[in-house]
Amino acid sequence: MRGDAVQVDSVDGPRWELALDRLRAGHTLIYKSVGLTRAETSARPGRGAGRLKVLIQSSWLPKNATRTRALEDLEIGRTVFEELKAASPEIRDLSQELGVAYELIDDYGTGATLIALMADDEIDWNQVLSDDVSNGG
């Protein structure tokens, strides 16, 4: 989520306006702990493309993640995004216009690995997590 991202912690002032302009131009806006970007493509065709992508950093490395931990991280990210939508009419309008896809990722600095994609209240798992193995799938 790094690179050209603009980090903001509030939805007012010139930095917020800059972050919105950058988001509209296809760059990443980071609000508190989540990233937002416009998804032109998706790891799951038809599920995330064209939507507002909410990027959520996993609190666990994929090798230590479980479905339970991943779902907790997704919920934390959704809560932050809902807070942002409540505070920003621009983000609320954009999310209604484009729809939203949540991506749980492991951002390791030089790239990122997709762990799970959630769109339309359905989750596609991109990683085999330890709960999968211990519970037989």
**What's the pLDDT tens digit per position in 43-102?**
555 555 688 999 999 999 888 889 999 999 999 999 999 999 999 999 999 999 999 999
Report pLDDT for 29. Answer: 95
Mean confidence (pLDDT) of the chain: 86
Report pLDDT for 137. Answer: 46
The distance of Cα 56 from the centroid of its chain, to the nearest Å, equals 4
Report pLDDT for 136. Answer: 44
pLDDT at residue 121 greater than cutoff 50: yes
pLDDT at residue 40 greater than cutoff 80: no
Report pLDDT for 135. Answer: 45
Considering the entire predicted model, what is its pTM? 0.85
What's the average model confidence in pLDDT over 14-26? 93
Structure-token pair, residue 121: 């209240």
Q: Residue 127 gets which letter from DSSP?
A: S
Structure-token pair, residue 79: 């809560």
Say which residue, 21 or 137, is predicted with more confidence: 21
Amino acid letter, 39 = A
Backbone phi, psi, residue 51, to 5°: -100, 170
How far apart are the C-alpha atoms of 37 and 19, rounded to whole Å?
A: 11
State the pLDDT confidence band at 41, using cuts at 50, 70 and 90: low
Report pLDDT for 47. Answer: 57
Say which residue, 130 or 52, is predicted with more confidence: 52
Backbone phi, psi, residue 62, to 5°: -55, -35
